[in-house]
A = this chain, B = another copy of it.
């Protein structure tokens, strides 16, 4: 990977993605074995976490990843108690943080924030989400989970839920076009893929079909990627319940699906997947969350060694 920063999943070629996933697999095995050399790997290195928006899970996962590599972490903490509140620009903030650390993980509500930060500092910047923009480490851990379970070749993926606001989904779909995956998008009409995303996917040569019902496509899928439908998106509670109920994945859904269907979800879930599905062997959403650690270890390992 000849990158200095990780700003968007789109910047990564198929071969870059494979480099990250291969490294993640090595590190995952080393974790599993309790390999003591892991904790010397980035001993002495310091990573700064700068989250302008809360995201405990992503933050903890980067935090654990750096610590599993033997490194240290310093955290900017909430924005309320920081210089940002006094009117400091993002460019100034990241230039100060640069003096404290060897790498920077940034989450910011404004699209383009990470790319901008990367222009101002000489240490690697990892985008941990910028508004409606990118969240590339999530995409990489999704790809890693798919590769570990269903493989990335000759793949059919179904994505169900909120396809309009789901940044995770857009980014994953873009990445999957690199692997010639077939994609089925299932959502209520009001939460379909935005026109611009659909256009970009078509431009990228994506093989995609859109549906309003899940059942008819279920048995064709290798992977079912479920996303949360937010109550706030609906004008009234009844409308929400109807939609949420329609896409809920439960034991019946699994009966209608291929035996080895891999079920994924970026979590947190609310009601989209029934608890009974947790017992199903190929329910991989917790494994998917756990994969955040080896995948982020791989990213940090590749970027910090790049220096």
Which residues of A come within 8 Å of B, CB atoms? 34, 36, 38-39, 43-44, 46, 48, 54-57, 59-61, 63-64, 67-68, 72, 74-78, 80-84, 86-88, 91-93, 95-101, 228, 267-270, 275, 286-287, 289-293
Contact = CB atoms under 8 A, between A and B. Distances in A.
Given A83-B267, A92-B268, A99-B286, A63 B56 contact: no
Nearest to A67: B72
A54 B34 contact: no
B46 A88 contact: no
Given A87-B270, A270-B86, A100 B293 contact: yes
Given A83-B268, A96-B286, A99-B292, A56 B77 contact: yes
Nearest to A287: B99
27 contacts: A36-B44, A38-B44, A39-B44, A44-B68, A46-B68, A54-B80, A54-B81, A56-B76, A56-B82, A56-B83, A60-B100, A64-B74, A64-B100, A88-B269, A88-B270, A93-B268, A95-B286, A96-B286, A96-B290, A98-B286, A98-B290, A99-B286, A99-B287, A99-B291, A99-B293, A100-B290, A100-B293
B81 A60 contact: no
Given A63-B74, A88-B270, A100-B290, 16 more contacts: A39-B43, A44-B68, A46-B68, A57-B96, A60-B97, A64-B100, A64-B101, A86-B268, A92-B267, A93-B268, A96-B267, A96-B290, A99-B287, A99-B289, A99-B292, A100-B293
A66 to B, nearest CB: 9
Contact of A96 (B34, B68, B86, B289): B289
Contacts of A86: 228, 268, 270
Given A74-B67, A86-B268, A88-B270, A99 B57 contact: no
